[in-house]
A and B are shown apart, each in its own frame.
Chain A
């Protein structure tokens, strides 16, 4: 960012209101104190009562008791969606594109969910409620007719916003389980790269904040893909194709990851990077130990919280959505623990503030 870069000067003209609003929403994110109260609840009714005193307010007031976790999940998600849609409807120019980018990841998830569901002979009506409302688009539900990726692309996705991400995975092969995972990751890779490049093109604080977050997202995917690929029929060459080529691991780390054979070797790759070494250290599945996944989540939360430190940039919108999502996961986790009377693990949520 040069000395005479005045990109931020005009930021508030188009986005000031929404940024302020988002920061306001962020202040409503539950804090440690709230979680402490929530974990003390004995029943979901108690949980509802406590959530009433937070910014969630009366969002469960119109639900007949007894409450179920599914209902809470729906309402939480609905709140996020309402807030996001409000932002999206008022967004302008670049911010609109940015918010659309956030939506694309949900679209990818939805498509993959539908294809997998259809492969397993599930009914569409059963699958639809599981789709994330942020990722719903018109032609989405017709993906069930496709037998191959080429089909999928030509018939359905060609005029959806996902089309550009799809160009790498068009083939005439029939869809099957492994295939779908590959498609998901290829799609995601293309999506991340596109999003990353777009943010970089924005320049200024947006690039600074978002490239870090998206870079981490890319690296996390590379790690997870590698770890999950052990013991599957995925070849190393194919695996290497799935790594998003952005972030800190690119290019050296990725080359090394591509050669990895077991968890230890992945860990060795991470050793080279200070922030990733911390994440791999002391992970485990026992009580009191945190899984690698949780560690990644924690790191993500820290980054997203930090993104609010910078002003005049789009990162706050992304971070807000991600923090809200994490919060939903936390509340659901706590609710599940309460509902199933499985309190020993109730503290394994990921605190945000």
Chain B
């Protein structure tokens, strides 16, 4: 059988690794990614484990790398990625790496401190310059008023300045964050009781905060006041609101001198700053070249030490004991890896791998590739399969897109979906390399690219069967209908856009040569006859067809699921379940749903006279009422029907107790026998037995180094009442589900109907308007309307309808199909693999 049919066979193995070889071996196993280690010290605290210091060192290295990465981001330098995947370095190289990172971090920090200091200096000087400029402006503004202070119109500000010589009007100048200005003004006014005068002006250019590197907007202010007490107060307020004060001379000459000095200093500083910036850039580009590789190395080392922490340390023999699950088929590869690891580390003693028997349920491991991954994903989303039970994934590859397509049947829509899927698949490598697209929705769509491709393909197929392409039909082979036989009069033909097609009318159908002289002798060769497109009773016709085919499809899938259950029973050698569960279930489902399907097909194939077609629904109801079928109420199908139907109903009734009671009865009987036997054995063996048993169990526990959880109690040992209750539930569930699940498959019909109706509405309400217009306006309107049509087609019909059909297909698989055989009580195999650790898929 293919590997996807059942999950991989797993075995529990113990590894004995020499202390010096352990690192290299685990490193090699990590590259391999085929083993999953179990924790042998579950009771030991994280910080009491052996290699905790090494893990800590790795943490520290990672921290330094993160620091460097942040610096890179700050300078917007991209990380160089050449796709290298270096092996985990040996422990001695770790010290080298540590030293290297330490040096880089210190360098970086030093550069940062210097730069910060310089920038701070620069900022101060710039602010100073701004103050001097603005102050000049503040003072100059008043000059014109100075000349004619006799005028009453002089501003308050001017008068204040005038009084300066007599009252020693003091002032301070500074810079404050623009956002704090309003509250600054308010506090100032309140705290000084309105006795100060504030002028402010915005600094037009944005400044850079030296510590955070953020861009900040600031304002220059100048405050005039009288007396030392107020000066004190003002200064305190400034301090409180983080305003920086700068000395500003009184006279404009001095100000000009200082300004010139400041300018030259700014220029000098700018040069130094540029140099520091260059130096920093140089260091960082060097870092950018290597940081990815460093990250990988450090993460690998960390993962190795983390794994080593799970091992049992045997001090006397200087070896580490590990326990792991691995696929039996890959034992050879694992042993190779161990040998290689031992060689690399130069250890003289080989590492030993030993298989251990255990009662514990092994993890489920399904090897997938790019193609099967998404299908397996659908199954795992419901529940990871129980170890080695039949995995529905390989069948899902075909049935899922098919059921989807039954609901989404439209050639045109299918084609669009197929093209989309094809684009994704063909450009796969490109998208895979472009890891940056970390949008979850995109990942989901891209992950399901093969599914989309298949769904598109199958939709084209079903669309072809339904003969629908954007709700229009192709007339490829020529219709098999002869409408002239209907004898419509001219008025009806002239007025109606669609007419009833009555198959009962003689001669209307070319399929029967005996009814129509020029009969072609065959119905439309494949799929729906295009004539139905223009028929008034199209939906009535299609409903009957789609409804019945949904039930047939549903029955086929459920039957298939039940067959897989047989495979499971055979594989697990569960003969009891085959006889007491599977066989009655099979009979039951055949009698209820199977019989219905048979008569559906029977009617399709044999019934030629549409006028006297029997009603299956009433027939089915009558069957359970034991009413004999008759031609009068339209339930007669074939001779001997009555006998067959009575037999079928009796079989159904007979199967119920079979399913319900047989299995518990057998278990009960076996238990009693077993109890009798062991009673006898115990009496024979005497007291010795009782002493022996615990000792053996104890030894076994020791061998398995105490880590294995208590073995699951044998299913036989369950309480009998529990078994009985479970059986009752299973029986009721199965028998009810036979009906309800069959009904549930009707969603195939319902969604298919909805889809074709929606696309038809879209065509007639939108596209049709444009196409039916006369030439001058027609083409233009058609062009405009086409875009509307296209957007709605993609948005509603493809995306929304597609999603809904997807969900329903999913449900049909999860509930209706898998409930027949799938337990899904396993747990996934999560191998220790560097690949997934580096990609961040595994949480430590």
CA A116 to CA B47, docked complex, whole Å: 43
Contacts of B66 in A (CB 8 A): 61-62
B233: interface (CB < 8 Å): yes
Determine whether the beta carbon of A46 is less than 8 Å from that of B47: yes
Interface string of A23-52 (1 = CB under 8 A from B): 000000000000001001110011001101
Query: Which chain A residues lie closer than 8 Å to B46 at the CB level?
Result: 49-50, 52-53
Contact B187 A45 (CB under 8 A): no
A21 to B162, CA, bound (A): 63
What sequence of 0s and 1s flags, for each residue 182-220 of chain B, a beta carbon within 8 Å of any chain A beta carbon? Answer: 010011001100000000000000000000000000000
| B190→A145 contact, CB < 8 A | no
By a CB distance below 8 angstroms, the chain A residues around B186 are: 159
Q: A154 near B190 (CB under 8 angstroms)?
A: yes
Asked if B56 is at the interface (CB within 8 A of a chain A CB), the reply is yes
- Contacting pair B191 A50 (CB below 8 A): no
Proximity bits, A135-166, B CB within 8 Å = 1, else 0: 00011111111000001001110110000000
**Residue B263 is within 8 A (CB to CB) of chain A in the complex:** no
A-B contact count (CB 8 A): 66
B240 on the interface (CB 8 Å rule)? Answer: yes
- B55-86 CB mask vs A (1 if < 8 Å, else 0) is 01001101100110000000000000000000
Q: How far in angstroms is the closest Cβ of chain B from A51?
A: 10
The reply to whether the CB of B768 lies closer than 8 angstroms to some CB of chain A is no
Give the residues in chain A near B191, CB-CB below 8 Å: 142, 145, 151, 155-156
A52 to B186, CA, bound (A): 47
Q: Within residues 267 to 300 of chain A, which ones have a CB less than 8 A from any CB in chain B?
A: none
Contact B47 A138 (CB under 8 A): no
Contact B180 A124 (CB under 8 A): no
Please name the residue on chain A nearest to B232 by beta carbon. Answer: A145
B576 at the interface (CB under 8 A from A): no
Q: Of all chain A residues, which has the CB nearest B183?
A: A138
Min distance, Cβ B39 to any Cβ of chain A, angstroms: 13
6 contacts between A and B (CB under 8 A): A40-B45, A53-B46, A61-B62, A62-B63, A124-B239, A142-B240
A interface, by DSSP: helix, strand, loop or mixed?
Answer: helix
Residue numbers in B under 8 Å from A45 (CB-CB): 47, 56
Is residue B796 contacting chain A, with contact meaning CB distance below 8 A? no
Q: Which of B62, B67, B239, B242 has the most CB of A within 10 A?
A: B239
- A40 contacts which chain B residues (CB < 8 A)? 45
For the complex of A and B, list the 3 residue pairs with the smallest distance between their C-beta atoms, beginning with the closest: A142-B240, A155-B191, A141-B240
Residues of A within 8 A of B (CB): 37, 40-42, 45-46, 49-50, 52-53, 61-65, 124, 138-145, 151, 154-156, 158-159
Give the contacting residue for A156; candidates B60, B180, B187, B239; CB below 8 A. Answer: B187
CB pair A62–B67 under 8 Å, yes or no, is yes
B559 contacts A by Cβ under 8 Å? no
Q: Does B671 contact A (CB under 8 A)?
A: no
Q: Are A142 and B187 in contact (CB under 8 A)?
A: yes
Distance in angstroms from A157 CB to nearest chain B CB is: 10
Question: In the assembled complex, which residues on chain A have CB atoms less than 8 Å from the CB atom of B575?
Answer: none
Q: Hey, which chain B residues are within 8 Å of A41, CB to CB?
A: 47
Q: A248 CA to B47 CA in the complex, in Å?
A: 47
B499 within 8 Å of A by Cβ? no
Contact assessment for B56 and A49 in the assembled complex, using a CB-CB cutoff below 8 Å = yes
Interface: B790 (CB within 8 A): no
Which residues of B are found within 8 Å of A63, using beta-carbon distances? 63
* Chain B 271-303 interface residues, beta-carbon cutoff 8 Å to A: none
Contact present for B241 and A142 (CB under 8 Å) = yes
Inter-chain CA distance A46–B60, complex, in Å, is 14
Contact with A along B535-563 (1 / 0, CB 8 A): 00000000000000000000000000000
Q: Is the CB of B236 within 8 A of A145?
A: yes
Contacts of A124 in B (CB 8 A): 239-240
Query: CB-defined interface of B788-824 with A at 8 Å, one 1/0 digit per residue?
Result: 0000000000000000000000000000000000000
**Other contacts beyond A145-B240, A159-B186: 5, CB < 8 A:** A61-B59, A62-B63, A141-B242, A142-B240, A144-B236
- The complex places the Cα of A93 from the Cα of B117 at a distance, in Å, of 45
Chain B residues with Cβ below 8 Å from A159 are 186
B183 and A139 contacting across the interface, CB-CB below 8 Å:
yes
- A155 adjacent to B187 (CB under 8 Å): yes
Nearest residue in B to A37 (C-beta to C-beta)? B45
Cβ B233 vs Cβ A145 within 8 A: yes
Check A139/B56 contact, CB under 8 A, given A41-B47, A61-B63, A62-B66.
no
Q: Which of A49, A138, A141, A143 contacts B52 (CB 8 A)?
A: A49
Enumerate chain A residues within 8 angstroms of B60, measured Cβ to Cβ: 64-65
Bound Cα distance from A112 to B66, whole angstroms: 40
Q: Which residues does chain A contribute within 8 Å of B67, judged by CB atoms?
A: 62
Pick the contact of B190: A37, A46, A156 (CB < 8 A). A156
Among B47, B239, B241, B242, the one with the most A-chain Cβ atoms within 10 Å of its Cβ is B47
Residues of chain B lying within 8 A (CB to CB) of residue A61: 59, 62-63, 66
Chain A contacts of B47 at CB under 8 A?
A: 41-42, 45-46, 49-50
Q: Is B828 an interface residue (CB 8 A)?
A: no
Residues of the B chain whose Cβ atoms lie less than 8 Å from the Cβ of A140: 240
User: Once the chains are docked, how many angstroms separate the CA of A41 from the CA of B684?
Assistant: 57
| Closest residue on chain A to residue B53 by CB atoms | A45
- Which of B59, B186, B240 has the most chain A CB within a 10 Å cutoff? B240
A128–B45 CA distance with the chains assembled, in angstroms:
39
Complex Cα–Cα for A124 and B62 (A): 37
What's the Cα separation between A140 and B241 when bound, in Å? 9
Assess the A158–B190 pair: CB atoms within 8 A.
Answer: yes
Task: Please give the distance in Å from B337's CB to the nearest CB on chain A.
Answer: 30
Which of A46, A52, A145, A151 interacts with B237 by CB under 8 Å?
A145
Tell me how far the C-beta of A222 lies from the nearest C-beta in chain B, rounded to whole angstroms: 34
CA distance A177 to B70 in the complex (A): 47
Q: How far is the CA of A49 from the CA of B302 in the complex (A)?
A: 14
Report the Cα distance A143→B236, complex, angstroms: 9
Q: Which residues of B contact A144 (CB under 8 A)?
A: 236, 239-240
Q: What chain A residues lie within 8 Å of B180 (beta carbons)? A: 138
CB-nearest residue of chain B relative to A143? Answer: B240
Q: How far in angstroms is the closest Cβ of chain B from A61?
A: 6
User: Once bound together, how far apart are the Cα atoms of A45 and B60, in whole Å?
Assistant: 11
B60 CB to nearest chain A CB (Å) = 6
Measured between beta carbons, the chain B residues less than 8 angstroms from A154 are 190
The distance in angstroms between the C-alpha atoms of A63 and B242, with both chains bound, is 28
Chain B residue at minimal CB-CB distance from A152: B191
- Least CB distance from B273 to A in Å reads 26
- Closest Cβ of chain B to A107, distance in Å, is 15
- Chain A residue, CB-CB nearest to B64: A64
Q: How far is the CB of A112 from chain B (nearest CB, A)?
A: 16
A63 to B239, CA, bound (A): 31
Question: Which residue from chain B places its CB closest to the CB of A61 in the assembled complex?
Answer: B63
CB distance from A26 to the nearest CB of B (A): 23
In angstroms, Cα B47 to Cα A49, docked, is: 7
Interface string of B236-253 (1 = CB under 8 A from A): 110111100000000000
Q: How far is the CA of A264 from the CA of B45 in the complex (A)?
A: 47
Across the interface, do B63 and A142 meet the contact criterion of CB distance under 8 Å? no
B residues less than 8 Å from A155 (CB atoms): 187, 190-191
Closest-CB distance, B69 to chain A (whole angstroms): 11
| Residue ID in chain A nearest B47 by CB atoms | A46
A145-B47 Cα distance, complex, nearest whole Å: 51
What is the distance, in angstroms, from A223's C-beta to the closest C-beta of chain B?
36
Name B182's closest neighbour in chain A (CB-CB): A138
Please determine whether B45 and A142 come into contact, CB atoms closer than 8 angstroms. no
Q: Chain A residues near B239: list those with CB within 8 A.
A: 124, 141, 144
Judging by beta carbons under 8 Å apart, are A141 and B241 in contact? yes
B residues near A49, Cβ cutoff 8 Å: 46-47, 52, 56
Smallest CB–CB gap between A115 and chain B, Å?
Answer: 12
Chain B residue nearest to A40 in the complex (CB): B45
* Residue of A whose beta carbon sits closest to that of B192: A155
* Residues of A close to B242: CB separation below 8 A: 141
- Complex Cα spacing A30 to B468, Å: 62
Q: Which residue of B lies closest to A41 (CB)?
A: B47
Q: Inside 8 A of B190's CB, which chain A residues have their CB? A: 154-156, 158
* Chain B positions within 8 Å of A156 at CB level: 187, 190-191
